[in-house]
Amino acid sequence: MIEQLPILNLVLLLTTALMIPFTQKISFKTTKLVGFTVLLTVLVSTLFILLHVQSEGAFYYHLGGYPSTIGIEFYVSILSAFFTLFVIALGTLIYVYSTRDIEHDVYAQDYGRYYTLLFILLFSMLGIVYTNDLFNTYVFMEILSITTCSIISIKRSKKNYTAAFRYLMLNEVGSLSYLFGVALIYMVTGYLNIDLAAESIQQVWHLYPANIVIALGFMIIGVSIKAAIFPFHIWLPDAHSTAPSASSALLSSIVVKVYIIIMIKVLLRLIGIDILEALNIPVFLTIIAASGMLIGSIFALGQKDLKRMLGYSSIAQIGYIVLGISLMSSLGLTAALFHIVSHGMMKAALFLSAGAFIFLRNQRAINGFNGLGYQMPISMAVFSIAGLGMIGIPGTSGFISKFNLGVAILDANQWFLLVILIMSGVLNAMYYLPIMINAFLKDNPEKNRVMQFEKLPKVMLVPIVVLGLMIVLVGLFPNSIMSYIEAAVAMLLA
């Protein structure tokens, strides 16, 4: 029965997405309740899958019973199970937040559409993480692109349309690149299944090197465009800053990470480390990652809008993750995967609290934060915790990932990257600290110095606080998550 849970999760999410137009006709409250129940069920089931995989080992699920040579197969390993848990957990928190937040972003007639899109989004992300088939990944990737484009443009304003259109165009180019790469690999190996294609590539590598190299190039660039890796990050600041707050949180913390997981699968399971190193691909990735880390932060320094700055900060942090991947060692991969989890939590906390500021105070400009800490202490406190995590202060999860990344960098004898890592930390401090300082240590224009708890609706406050607590807890006790990640890395590199 547990073996059925992956597909049942997907089916459940899709069905909910389809039922929402009907529940919306009854009332908005039914939609919210139905959605919440479904998400909790899926969360519990992903937890069960994780525990099952941890004790019994990975398993395969063939759709339709067809063998893997001709059919679609899901590979539920520790990596998939853990990351689906991560996606659904963050998705649930953001969902709970969005039930109040969309009221001031989206027109009332679009609420049903928003939630349909949200559920299809979660459905496609789960699909991407589970699947073991290259073309199936493409299908889910397309669904994800289109739904994210819609979830950005649901706000019906001119800036949104421009941002969503640019997002769509670039992402389509990325998907097509990826498809082209898949086609080339199919041409050479005859399989679309990752495991079978990997075996075949090992044998066929000498016969058709050009094919595989070009396929790899297209696939990496396609995924890089969608994962906002420098220099293909261009769509990200517009898209994430104009979208409604819950959508930005979703996009920046989960959607972008799923593409990085595709990249990990392609690079490590499909192609394998030996071929990659023969092609000097790690060097290329390192250069991109290091420049992304610095340039993302430099662009973030000059921003005036809070959400745009957070978008550029995402680009810098994704550079960290790609740096970890490019080191091609188990330490590097562990650091990268841990940073995926940690950055997901921190960025979600940042975007959700930014959304709280916009909800209550309509405050988006960075220099308007004076004294905000007295009016909205809880959101500002969570913002500060997440900001400190971005800088890398011990006690938050950001420090653990930075430390592990540093150890991995030195293990590969690249001390220059350590310097860049530290410079990036200082740059991060340069744009997060002023906001935190202005909020708590300056007087606001109304000059009231009494700290009052903000009148944020509880549905919005609880996810923010939960995320803040999780950041601190993971920062203080990272071993539980580390054990899963190390098991996943062992499986990837075997």
Partner 1 sequence: MDDIILRTISRLIIPFIEIYGVFIILHGHVSPGGGFSGGAILGTSLILYTLVFGVEKAQKKFSHKVSDIAESGGILWFILIGLVGIFVTGYFLTNINAGFPIGEPGLLLSAGMIPLLMIGIGIKVASTMITLFHTVIEEAHHGSA
Partner 2 sequence: MKNRDYFRRSIESYNFQSIVLVSMLVAMLGFFFAYIINGFGFKTWLDSSVNLATIFFFIYRQRWLPLLIIGLPVVGGIGQFVIGRNICSVRDTWVIVTTFLTILFILFLYPLAIVEGFYFEVPYLLGFGLTFSIDMVGFIMLLITSILWFLVMLYSHEYMKHERHCNRFLFFMAMTYSAVLGTIMSGDLLTMFLFFEMMTFASYVLVTHGQKDESYSAGYNYIFMGLIGGFAILAAMILLFVHVGDVRFQSAIAVLSTLGSVRYWIIGLLIFGFGIKAGMAPVHVWLPRAHPVAPTPASALLSGIMIKVGAFGMIRVATSYFFPETFVIGTIWETMETIGFVVIWLGIITMAVGVFLALQQSHIKRMLAYHSVSQMGYIVLGIGVALYLGYKGAMGYTGAMYHIINHALFKSLLFMVAGVIYLRTRENDMYKLGGLWRKLPITAVICLIAALGISGIPLFNGFISKSILHHGIVEAYEYGHRSFYYAEWVFNVISAGTVCSFIKLFSYTFLGKLPEQYKDMKSQFMSLHIPMFVIAGLIILIGVFPRFILDGFIVPALCCTTYDPNFIQTYVVGLAFFTSEDLLSMLFVVVLGYAIFYAGKRWHLFHLHLPHWLRLEYMIFYPINRLMRLACRFMYGGQCRINPLMMSRIDLDAKNDVGFLERFTLTASVFNRRYENLIIKSDALIYTLILTGILGYLLLRI
Q: Report the Cα–Cα distance between both ends of the chain, in Å, rounded.
A: 28
Find where tokens 């990659």 sit: 276
Q: Using CB distances below 5 to 8 A depending on partner kind, what does residue 82 bind out of partner 2, partner 1, none?
A: none
Amino acid at the residue 341: V
Rule CB under 8 A: choose which of 55, 65, 67, 367 binds partner 1: 65
Q: Does 469 bind partner 1 (CB under 8 A)?
A: no
In angstroms, what is the minimal distance from the CB of 85 to partner 2? 21
Q: Where does this chain touch partner 1 (CB under 8 A) — which range of 9-17, 102-110, 203-211, 220-228? A: 9-17
CA distances 5 to 18, 37, 44, 117, 380, Å, are 20, 16, 10, 22, 39
CA distances 224 to 129, 285, 407, Å, are 17, 10, 25
Q: What is the secondary structure of 278-303 as a DSSP string?
A: HTTHHHHHHHHHHHHHHHHHHHHHT-
Q: Where does this chain touch partner 2 (CB under 8 A) — which range of 31-39, 83-91, 101-109, 477-485? A: 477-485
The enclosing H or E element of 73 equals strand 73-76
Sign of CA dihedral 13, 17, 19, 22: positive
> Number of helices and strands (H, E) in the chain?
21, 2
Q: Does 406 bind partner 2 (CB under 8 A)?
A: yes
Residue whose CB is less far from partner 2, 63 or 410: 410
Q: Does 217 bind partner 2 (CB under 8 A)?
A: yes
Instruction: Tell me the chain's radius of gyration from C-alpha atoms.
Output: 22
DSSP 8-state assignment for residue 413? T
Q: Does 365 bind partner 2 (CB under 8 A)?
A: no
Amino acid at the residue 246: A
Give the pair of three-digit tokens for residue 146: 């289109």
Q: Which residues pair with 74 in a beta bridge?
A: 61, 131
Q: Does 472 bind partner 2 (CB under 8 A)?
A: no
Kindly report the backbone phi and psi dihedral angles of residue 76, in degrees, each rounded to the nearest multiple of 5, phi listed first: -100, 100
Give the pair of three-digit tokens for residue 19: 């039922």
Residue whose CB is less far from partner 2, 19 or 173: 173
Give the pair of three-digit tokens for residue 475: 């920062």
Q: Using CB distances below 5 to 8 A depending on partner kind, what does residue 51 bind out of partner 2, partner 1, none?
A: none
Q: Does 3 bind partner 1 (CB under 8 A)?
A: yes
In angstroms, what is the minimal distance from the CB of 426 to partner 2? 6
Residue whose CB is less far from partner 1, 118 or 405: 118
Q: Does 411 bind partner 2 (CB under 8 A)?
A: yes
In angstroms, what is the minimal distance from the CB of 362 to partner 1? 29
Residue whose CB is less far from partner 1, 73 or 454: 73
Q: Where does this chain touch partner 1 (CB under 8 A) — which range of 17-25, 270-278, 360-368, 447-455? A: 17-25
What stretches of 362-457 show up as alpha helix (H) in DSSP?
372-375, 377-391, 397-411, 415-441
Interface positions, 35-64, toward partner 1 (CB under 8 A): 61-64
CA-closest candidate to residue 193, choices 245, 268, 136, 155? 136
Spell out, one character per residue from 298 to 337, where the chain touches partner 2: x when CB under 8 A holds, - when not. Answer: xx-xxx----------------------------------
| Residues of the shown chain interacting with partner 2 in the complex, contacts defined by CB under 8 A | 166, 170, 173, 177, 209-210, 213-214, 217-218, 221, 225, 231-232, 234-235, 237-238, 279, 284, 298-299, 301-303, 388, 391-395, 399-400, 402-403, 406-407, 410-411, 418, 422, 425-426, 429-430, 433, 437, 441-443, 449, 475-479, 482
Residue ranges that bind partner 1, judged by CB under 8 A = 3-4, 7-8, 11, 14-15, 18-19, 21-22, 61-65
